[in-house]
Amino acid sequence: MQTTTHFDVCIIGSGPGGYVAAIRAAQLGMSVAVVEKRGCFGGTCLNIGCIPSKAMLDSSEKYHTAGATFARHGIIADNLRIDLATMMSRKEKVVQTLVDGVAALLKSNHITTFSGIGRIASADTVTVLTPDGNISVHAGSIILATGSVPAQLPALPVDHELIVDSTDALSLDRVPRHLVVVGGGIIGVELASVWARLGAQTSIIEKMPQLAPGMDTQIARSLQRSLAGLGISMHLEAQVVECKRQAKTAVLQAKTKDGRIVDFPADKILIAVGRRPFTDGLGNDRVGIELNESTGRIMVDKGYQTSCRGVYAIGDLVHGPMLAHKAEDEGIAVAELLAGKPGHVNYDTIPSVIYTNPEVAYVGRTQEECRQQGIDYGAGIFHFKANGRALAADHADGFVKTLAERGSDRLLGVHIIGPNASELIVEAVTTMEYGGSAEDIARSVHAHPTYSEAVRESALAVDGRAIHAPPSNL
Ligand code: FAD
Ligand code: NAD
C-alpha cells in the first residue's frame, strides 16, 4: 500500500459533476485529487451520453433532412447512402476531442489524477484500487460524483447483442431492421429518432399515458406527432408481456392500452427505462452514508453533505433531474461552499432539453402543475409557422408556450417545441433567475428575423398582444 500526500479535497468520479467541482475547487486555491476508473475523463456525459448521442442525432438528422426536404429547396440529392462506419468514427473523434480537453483542463489546473476504482475507507481517506496495488488518498473533504448507470428490466436482461442499453445503441455496427425501444423517456425518443432516421422500423413501448412523463401535455402530444412523422410507432400505456427469442431476433409481446396483445418483431431491443445512481462498491455503507430507500440516491443536506461529516455527494447520485448541467452546477456550488462561499443551485430554473427534431426545451412549471398548485396563471402560445425565420429556414413546426402568474406577471414556465429550442430556452432561464416577468421578455428588443421572436410573441400573447397572430389564436 502506497500512501500519498494529503489533499484538501478528493473527488471520486470525473463526469460533469466531478471534473467541474475539481476545476472550481482548484480555482479557489484548494489542492485537489480526482479518482476515475474509466481510463478517461468526462464520465457518462462525454463518453456514452450527451455528446455521442448528440453527434449521432446531428449526423442522422443531416441524412434525413437531405432525403426528406432538400428537393423542395431545389437541391437534388440523388443516391443518398449511409456510411455508418464513418458516422461512428466522426462521433468517436468528437468524444475524444472533448475527453482530451478535460484531461488538459485538469492538468493545467494542477489537479492530481488517479486511475482506478475509488472506495471510501473512512471519512477522510479514499482507497484507489489499481492493477498495480492500492493507493491511499487522504483528504479534508471527499466529494462523491460516481453518477448513474442504466436501470434494468429483470424480464429483459441486457445481453449487449439483441437486448441493448443506451451505450450499445450509440455504437451499433448496422442499422437495425426492426428496433423496439422499451421506455419513451428522453433516451428512448432521442435514440429512436436516430435509428428511425437511418432507416430502422422503430416502435416505442411506454407504460405511462404520455412520452417523457412530466413534460407539458400539449408539447408531449406535438412531440408524438413529429415522431410519428418519422414513421415511429408509439404505444402508450403499454406493457411488455413476454420476449420470445430466436437466434438473433425476437418477438416482443406487449399488452397495449386497448388490452390487445401485440407482437413486435425485433432484431434490436433497446431498454431505456431510466437510470439508477451508481454506488456499487463505493464503501458508502462503511461510513454510514444514508441512501434514499426508494430511489437509492445518496441523501444530502442543502450543502451537499451526506450523513457522514466531511463526505459530500453531487450529480446523478443525489436528488433532482439526472442532467449534466445540473451536475456541473452542483460541482461549482459544492466547491464554493467548501471554500466558505455562498454556492447554491436554483432547482426551479434547471432547463430540460430533448434533442429531437423539432427540439423540445422547457423550464419552470407546466400548466398541469400550475393547476394542481392552485396558481392563477395566464398562458400565451405562439406558433413557429407565423415566424419569418422559421418559414425561411423550413423549420416551421412547433410553438412556444409562456406561463405567467396573473397579477404579478412573474414568469412561471416556458415550454418550447421548435427549431433551436435548446438555445431559445436560455432567455426564459435568465428571466426566471432574475425573478422577471413575461413583460420583461415582451419589452426586450429581439432581432428580426430570428426564432427568438416567437418567444417574445408568446410572452406578448399572455395578455393577448401578440402582433403576428390573429386575435382568435390567442
Ligand atoms: P457521470 O457522468 O455518470 O460520471 C460518473 C463517473 O464516475 C464515471 O466516469 C464513472 O466511471 C466514475 N466512477 C463511478 N464509480 C467510480 C468509482 N468507484 N471510482 C472511480 N470512478 C468511478 N444530460 C444532459 O444534460 N444533456 C444531454 O443531452 C444528455 N444526454 C444523455 C444521453 C445519454 C445516452 C445518457 C445515458 C445520459 C445523458 N445525459 C444528458 C445525462 C448525463 O449524462 C448525466 O446526467 C451526467 O453525466 C451526470 O454526471 P455525473 O458527474 O453525476 O456522473
Ligand atoms: P427517463 O426517466 O427519462 O424515461 C424512462 C421512461 O421509461 C419513462 O417514460 C418510463 O415511464 C418508462 N418506463 C419505465 N419502465 C417501463 C416499462 N417497464 N415499460 C415501458 N416503459 C417503461 O429515463 P431515460 O430516458 O432512460 O434517461 C435516463 C436519464 O438520462 C434521464 O433522467 C434523463 O434526464 C437523462 N438524459 C437526458 C438527456 C437530455 O437532457 N437530452 C438525454 C438522455 C438522457
Q: What is the pLDDT of residues 356-415, one digit of tens each?
A: 999 999 999 999 999 999 999 999 999 999 999 999 999 999 999 999 999 999 999 999
> Is the CB of 324 inside a 6 Å radius of any atom of ligand 2?
no
Dist CA 63 CA 393 (whole Å): 17
**Residue 14 burial class via C-beta count within 10 angstroms: exposed 0-12, middle 13-18, buried 19 and up:** buried
At 310 the pLDDT is 98
> Is the CB of 367 inside a 6 Å radius of any atom of ligand 1?
no
Closest ligand to 215 CA? 2
Average pLDDT score over residue span 134-151: 97
At 224 the pLDDT is 98
Q: Which domains does the chain have, with CATH numbers?
A: 2-150+276-347 (3.50.50.60), 163-273 (3.50.50.60), 358-461 (3.30.390.30)
Q: CB-based contacts of 279: which residues, under 8 Å, 6+ apart? A: 146, 291, 296, 298, 317
At 50 the pLDDT is 98
Q: Are 314 and 11 in contact (CB under 8 A)?
A: no
The residue whose CA is least distant from atom 30 of ligand 2 is 322
Of 49, 53, 45, whose CA–CA distance to 19 is shortest?
45
- For the cut 70, the answer to whether the pLDDT of residue 4 exceeds it is no
| Count of C-beta atoms within a 10 Å radius of residue 245 | 15
Dist CA 388 CA 453 (whole Å): 9
**Residue 132 burial class via C-beta count within 10 angstroms: exposed 0-12, middle 13-18, buried 19 and up:** exposed
Closest ligand to 204 CA? 2
What is the radius of gyration, based on Cα positions, of the chain?
24
> Is the CB of 149 inside a 6 Å radius of any atom of ligand 2?
no
Q: CB-based contacts of 204: which residues, under 8 Å, 6+ apart? A: 181, 183, 184, 188, 189, 192, 211, 227, 232, 233, 234, 235
How far, in Å, is the centroid of ligand 2 from the Cα of 274?
4
Q: Residue 440 has which C-alpha cell?
A: 420583461
The residue whose CA is least distant from atom 40 of ligand 2 is 353
Average pLDDT score over residue span 11-39: 98
At 474 the pLDDT is 47
- For the cut 70, the answer to whether the pLDDT of residue 473 exceeds it is no
Dist CA 49 CA 314 (whole Å): 18
Q: CB-based contacts of 439: which residues, under 8 Å, 6+ apart? A: 409, 459
Number of the ligand 2 atom closest to the C-alpha atom of 208: 11
The residue whose CA is least distant from atom 41 of ligand 1 is 323
> Is the CB of 378 inside a 6 Å radius of any atom of ligand 1?
no
Average pLDDT score over residue span 317-344: 98
Peptide bond into 358 cis (omega under 30): yes
Closest ligand to 15 CA? 1
Is residue 418 classed as helix, strand or coil in its secondary structure? strand
The residue whose CA is least distant from atom 12 of ligand 2 is 183
Q: What are the tens digits of pLDDT across the range 212-243?
A: 999 999 999 999 999 999 999 999 999 999 99
73 belongs to the catalytic site: no
Of 434, 367, 358, 359, whose CA–CA distance to 397 is shortest?
358
How far, in Å, is the centroid of ligand 1 from the Cα of 51?
11
| Distances, alpha carbon 162 to alpha carbons 244, 251, 335, in Å | 12, 11, 43
Closest ligand to 53 CA? 1
> Is the CB of 158 inside a 6 Å radius of any atom of ligand 2?
no
How far, in Å, is the centroid of ligand 2 from the Cα of 236?
14
> Is the CB of 353 inside a 6 Å radius of any atom of ligand 2?
yes
Mean pLDDT of the chain, nearest integer: 97
Q: Are 201 and 231 in contact (CB under 8 A)?
A: yes
> Is the CB of 325 inside a 6 Å radius of any atom of ligand 2?
no
Q: Are 255 and 223 in contact (CB under 8 A)?
A: no
At 452 the pLDDT is 98
At 1 the pLDDT is 53
Peptide bond into 209 cis (omega under 30): no
> Is the CB of 331 inside a 6 Å radius of any atom of ligand 1?
no
Average pLDDT score over residue span 121-139: 96
Q: Note if the pTM is more than 0.95.
A: yes
Dist CA 200 CA 323 (whole Å): 28
Q: H/E/C letters for each residue in 330-389? A: HHHHHHHHHCCCCCCCCHHHCCEEECCCCEEEEEECCHHHHHHCCCCEEEEEEEHHHCHH
> Is the CB of 250 inside a 6 Å radius of any atom of ligand 1?
no
> Is the CB of 34 inside a 6 Å radius of any atom of ligand 1?
no
Question: Which DSSP symbol is given to 299?
Answer: P
Ligand 1 probe mutation, 12, 20, 47, 50, most atoms within 8 A of CB: 50
Number of the ligand 1 atom closest to the C-alpha atom of 17: 51
Quick one: CA dihedral 113, 114, 119, 125, positive or negative? Answer: negative
Catalytic residue among 138, 383, 446, 448: 448
The residue whose CA is least distant from atom 4 of ligand 2 is 185
Q: What phi, psi does 319 have (nearest 5°)?
A: -50, 160
| Distances, alpha carbon 209 to alpha carbons 179, 218, 252, in Å | 21, 13, 20
Average pLDDT score over residue span 16-36: 98
- For the cut 90, the answer to whether the pLDDT of residue 470 exceeds it is no
How far, in Å, is the centroid of ligand 2 from the Cα of 435?
30
